[in-house]
Amino acid sequence: MQFALDDELLALQDTARRFADEEVMPVAAEYDQSGEFPRHIIEKAWELGLSTTCIPQEQGGLGLSIEGTCVLTEEIARGCAGIATSVMCNDLGLTPILVGGSQEQKEEWLTPCAESFKLISFCLSESGAGSDVAGMQLRAEKDGDAYLLNGTKAWITNGGEADLYTVFATLDRSSRHKGICAFVVERNTPGLEPGKKEDKLGQRASDTRVVHFDDVRVPARQRLGEEGQGFRIAMETLDRTRPMIGALAVGIARRALEESLAYAKERRAFGSPIGEFQAVQFMLADMAKDIEASRLLTFQCAWMIDNGMRASKQSSMAKCFATDAAMKATVDAVQIFGANGYTKEYPVEKLMRDAKLMQIYEGTNQIQRMVIARELLGQ
Ligand code: CAA
């Protein structure tokens, strides 16, 4: 068992920490307020080797392990969860190509993303099919040696900013998961139109939209895997990316603890710093122990994937535990700050708003519990 990061990962962690301190934290409140998309910051992350890290060295990428991606995601999320989500979404969007793409498709689609900065979107959810992936309605219709895609995807991260979209569509709605196919679609394909940007409660720096597909013609060579393999590709993708959501949650919770510790030492009540009161100490202690446990679960899951093991259960455990812990830590941070915590003068209300999304995206925590229970029961 090895709990220490090696020199390479320590150096990566240091770069990500400095990026968060110098580039992300100073502007996080501004982008939270405006809801604008900080494209230049995401591009800076890419220049520093902190984004799109999943591309194998064979295709000119960094070929970073899931463990490494978790290390850097935690650091960036400590600066701003919305920006961290925009950064990690590139790996989410490209993982279907890693999981289901042929050698030629990897060369064609991954290499350009290693050579220059691009944004990628993962188009799975629909307004009527968020948790129930197999119930998706976006239609793929055979048209010679191509497919016509028609329908609308919802809550798509980087939806209005992406250069490349991995898109899941059904050949036959009645076949449920057996009818789903995965495609790579370029932004400039006629008929692909990003729609309304969501005005979100938290993670406001990330771009979340509907994306419309109106007779979008996609050549068959842009289909990943065989017809009907799209559902498996989506599930295997999420197995690989949910630990990153765990790491993102650890970053938020760590920031909540740091802010709370500083405040508890400085803020006085009844003649003492509030950190001397047991009621406050217990909240701080809970945050610290939950952060450690979340990180351990996340790294255990990352280690399993990096070593070629199936990790659906651990992936759901890491995502669910860490995001619930981040929610609790941020609610408690607001409580420790009292009335100050409820104002935008202090950073903790943003952490609380940002944390809420963590329990919803990449599969709600109810879906994660369902996955864990099915695995336990052998269903
Ligand atoms: N790996 C490989 N295969 C898998 C699998 C996995 N992890 N999970 C399921 N499968 C296979 C099953 O073995 C089964 O195979 P057979 O055809 O041989 O029977 C098939 O897929 C169907 O599986 P289920 O019967 O379990 O399917 P289901 O319809 O009951 O749904 C679910 C399963 C777990 C609920 C799934 O729909 C799910 O994960 N929902 C949540 C979706 C989600 O996480 N969305 C997130 C969107 S991305 C996002 O939010 C990111 C962002 O913006 C930043």
73's CB contacts (< 8 A; 6+ apart) are 84, 87, 88, 244, 247, 248, 251
At 366 the three-state DSSP class reads helix
Could you tell me the distance, in angstroms and rounded to a whole number, from the CA of residue 235 to the centre of ligand 1?
5
> Which atom in ligand 1 lies closest to the alpha carbon of residue 157?
53
Q: Which residues of the chain have pLDDT under 50?
A: none
3-state secondary structure (DSSP) of residue 251: helix
Q: Is 375 a catalytic residue?
A: no
For 260-280, the DSSP string reads HHHHHHH-EETTEEGGGSHHH
State the closest ligand 1 atom to the C-alpha of 361, by its place in the atom list counted from 1. 50
Alpha helices, H only, the chain: 7-19, 25-34, 39-47, 66-79, 81-100, 103-115, 230-266, 278-306, 312-337, 348-358, 365-377
Q: Rounded CA gap, 302 and 65, in Å? A: 8
Q: Residues lining ligand 1, judged by CB closer than 6 Å? A: 85, 89, 92, 122, 124-125, 131-134, 157, 177, 231-232, 235-236, 238-239, 312, 361-363, 367, 371
69 CA from centroid of ligand 1 (Å): 23
Predicted pLDDT of residue 295: 98
Query: Per residue in 28-81, pLDDT tens?
Result: 999 999 999 999 999 999 999 999 999 999 999 999 999 999 999 999 999 999
Share of the chain above pLDDT 70, in %: 100
